[in-house]
Chains A and B, each alone.
Chain A
Amino acid sequence: MQLTGGRMRVELLAAIGGLSFVAASLVIGVRLLLLARRTGELPELAVGLALFLMGGIAYPMLSVARLAVGWSEPLRLGLGTSALLLNGFGTISVAVFNWRVFRPGERWARNAVGAIAAVLVASLLCQVLSGGLREAALSNRGLGLRLFMFFLGPSLAWASYESIRFHGLLVRRARLGLADPIVTDRMWLWGISTLCAFVLNMATSIGALFFGIDFAATAFGALMIAPLGLIAACGMWLAFLPPASYTRRVTARAATSEA
């Protein structure tokens, strides 16, 4: 009985982590898409689409497709398949953001975006030709699906690497008064949020690919999802919708360290 209670608490924790991630992705995704409509700039469109489609829509949609067993199968299949496609599209948007913001003039970065899109399409085709979309969307099974989930990772790792690297440069610039402390902090928060999303993605993919386990359904998985989901959600929130008290604190901290 105690074990059941413990298990329930772990699942509740995971749900809180997962739901905060979904809520933050939805709110910030919409906000960035509205910003993109106003400015007409690609970076905000790309990152807004990524957050809105992946964290805000695809993640809960896929869970509903798999868990709402009482619903009609065509509806669940439609939801599940749409979620996979949205995940792919969101991942490509992250890659486009990385390329256009951090490496705009570099051919390898443009090629990396193409390569990420190509392997995602190839993985889905592999799934269609082997296990079928039904297996993937409703039962979380199939080699193509495993590969597809695995290849969602590189875009996130790339985003995290670029942001944390650039944060290091901004810290050095800040010492000379050449960097905005709020932008410096935002870069760090985005790097940490994408790192958390990458770690979760890798843990899920490796668990499924090599050990055949549904990571999110294990106690260890739930224990990881809770803190990482919360950290990613808080990081995104503080980066893109920071409360005035937080920005004041960041500015004050920077002023103290400069002095």
Chain B
Amino acid sequence: MADSAAFGWVCEQLQRATHLSELEARGTVRLALKQAGLDARGVSGDEMAVLLRKVLPQELTQRAVENAARVCEDLATRLKSERLGGSDGAADSKSVEAVFRRLGGGA
């Protein structure tokens, strides 16, 4: 299974906005995803926006990226307009969380 569009977009933009190489940018985002209990294949745009605001600033600061918080906030805002927002409905209804929500009587 390929990496999600949101993951690819954020890595590419991080590479452009910072001194990080492609490998470093992808590795940094993967580490942040792991910390948040997410993975590159299934992460949605909405989840990535939260990651950009809450986890990545610290990760980037540790890698000597200047203005890490501002870079991340900027990417999170632009991510919204990229329409990588949520995952599509059909895939979402089959996600582990959606199944367990239904099993307990939730919609």
Residues of A within 8 A of B (CB): 32, 35, 39, 41, 43-44, 47, 101-102, 104-105, 166, 168-173, 175-180, 182-183, 186-187, 190, 239-242
Residues in chain B near residue A32, CB distance under 8 A = 103
A-B pairs with beta carbons under 8 Å apart, 11 shown = A35-B102, A35-B103, A41-B93, A43-B103, A44-B102, A44-B103, A105-B1, A172-B35, A179-B37, A182-B101, A241-B105
Q: Let me know if B23 is at the binding interface, CB within 8 A.
A: no
Contact A176 B55 (CB under 8 A): yes
Residues in chain A near residue B97, CB distance under 8 A = 170, 179-180, 183
Residues of B within 8 A of A (CB): 1, 35-38, 47, 50-51, 54-55, 93-94, 96-97, 99-106
- The residue that A104 contacts in the complex, of B36, B37, B93, B94, with Cβ under 8 A, is B94
Contact B104 A173 (CB under 8 A): no
Known: A43-B102, A177-B50. 9 other contacts (CB 8 A): A35-B103, A43-B99, A47-B103, A166-B96, A172-B36, A173-B36, A176-B50, A186-B103, A239-B104
Q: How far is the CA of A177 from the CA of B50 in the complex (A)?
A: 9
Q: How far is the CA of A239 from the CA of B50 in the complex (A)?
A: 28
Residues in chain B near residue A239, CB distance under 8 A = 103-104
Contact A183 B100 (CB under 8 A): yes
Q: How far is the CA of A198 from the CA of B96 in the complex (A)?
A: 22
